[in-house]
Amino acid sequence: MNRRLYPGRDYRRAQSIDELRELARRRLPNFSFEYVEGGSDDEFTLARNRAIFQSITLQPRTLRNVGTRDLRRDVFGKPSALPFMVGPTGFNGLLTAGGDLRLAEAAARAGIPFVLSNASTSSIEEIAAIDGIRAWMQIYLYRTRDHVAKLVERVRRLELEAIVVTVDSAIFGNREWDRRNYVRPLQLDLRNKLDVALHPEWVWDVLVPNGVPRFANLGDLLPPGKDSVKGAASALAAELDPSLNWDDIAWLRDIWKGKLIVKGMIHPADAEIALGYGVDGVVLSNHGGRQLDGSVSAMETLAEVARLARGRMSVFLDGGFRRGSDIVKALLLGADAVLLGRAALYGLAAGKGPGASHAIEILRSEVDRTLGLLGCSSLDELSPELIHAPAWRAAAQAVAGHAPHGAGEAGSNLDGRRMPIDAFS
């Protein structure tokens, strides 16, 4: 028999994130799935984010006692049950009713942090009220700074742990495949309208009885009656500020004394500057391949940033994570934790809240299995010797302090600002 992914609709039978992706594709109308799935321009960066993991080969140890394994990881001095968290993703109300709330509940059940998107359709207050939640808030530095200041005050009042400010979206990326679904901004063409009608389960879940989902945290930024996902597009586009710079980070640092994380940088020099502005962490990211096409993957600059940041700030990243082994590879290169984007959304779209929990469980089991197969009983036992690819192992050694920066085997490029292209081509 020919191999094929599970063709049904029961998310519980999905064996992998890729299988959840296929279930999500079948359940969602095309325009909604395309919003989740697509990248910018020719989608080279989107593909690169996945391809990079194939180049990082592993070299396991054997005959070690791995009968019990510990997947816990401290994040900002507090225990997290797993070395990954649910990152910020917008418009989740278009995947299922209360999408952000369902994702946050899944994160709380798993004992991991959840980052609420500024463009969420659930309010900060709803998320903060979830029992056991460890919630962070993602924001954009819009032109209307009074709105940002009020949002920060809401976060402070609710005693959320951290603010994650996204800095790579001051100019929208060119998402052609997403735009092709519309005859004009957010007005679906006839083909996609018919496709929506062919997805009655989604219609009854998302559009009935409350209509198009509405943004829950942007009320004072939007014109009256323009807080729906459809109506807010032009207003939000006008609020993006291409003049965004480090002075704006200083302003935010001044009004927010909690944990501050800058998301969306990918150059080590920017991470080094961030240290001078007193940030507590960075998220290396190319926005899931949705902004600059041709950008390097966060994995390519991770080791250099982790070496610079060691002991001074936390280093997180996102982009292309679909397997537990991907997450372990990031930890080997110095990441404190990984942020999930599409991987969690596929579960949410395939099976609502329980589907999101299933996605987290798939990755938990894969991290656990990878750790054991490498011969480690805890994340603390991960070491550069477990990486076989010479250039990547040399990078990991520099992070761990096992070799001087710039040293390593032939093919390494530790004096540069990223891993060489020939390391994975």
Contact 60, 311 (CB under 8 A): no
| Cβ pair 225, 151 in contact under 8 A | no
Annotated binding site for glyoxylate: 35, 140, 175, 263, 287, 290
β-strand pairing of 135-139 with 162-166: parallel
Distance (Å, rounded) from C-alpha 395 to C-alpha 399? 7
CA nearest to 334, candidates 363, 368, 306, 294: 306
How far apart CA 84 and CA 363 sit, in angstroms, is: 9
b/e code 314-352 from CB counts within 10 Å (16+ = b):
bbbbbbbbbbbbbbbbbbbbbbbbbbbbbbbbbbbbbbb
Name the residue among 414, 378, 345, 342 with its Cα closest to residue 74. Answer: 378
Residues contacting residue 55 through CB under 8 Å, at least 6 positions apart: 389, 392, 423, 424
The pair phi, psi for residue 338, each rounded to 5°, is -115, 140
Contact 206, 93 (CB under 8 A): yes
Task: Give CA 25 to chain center in angstroms.
Answer: 19
Distance, in Å, from the CA atom of 121 to the CA atom of 131, rounded to the nearest integer, reads: 19
Cα–Cα distance between 33 and 35 in angstroms, integer?
5
Are 359 and 343 contacting, i.e. CB atoms less than 8 angstroms apart?
yes
Question: What sign for the dihedral angle of Cα 77, 80, 82, 84?
Answer: negative
Beta bridge partners of 187: 184
Active site residue 199: no
Residue from 199, 287, 402, 405 carrying the catalytic annotation: 287
- The set of catalytic residues is 287
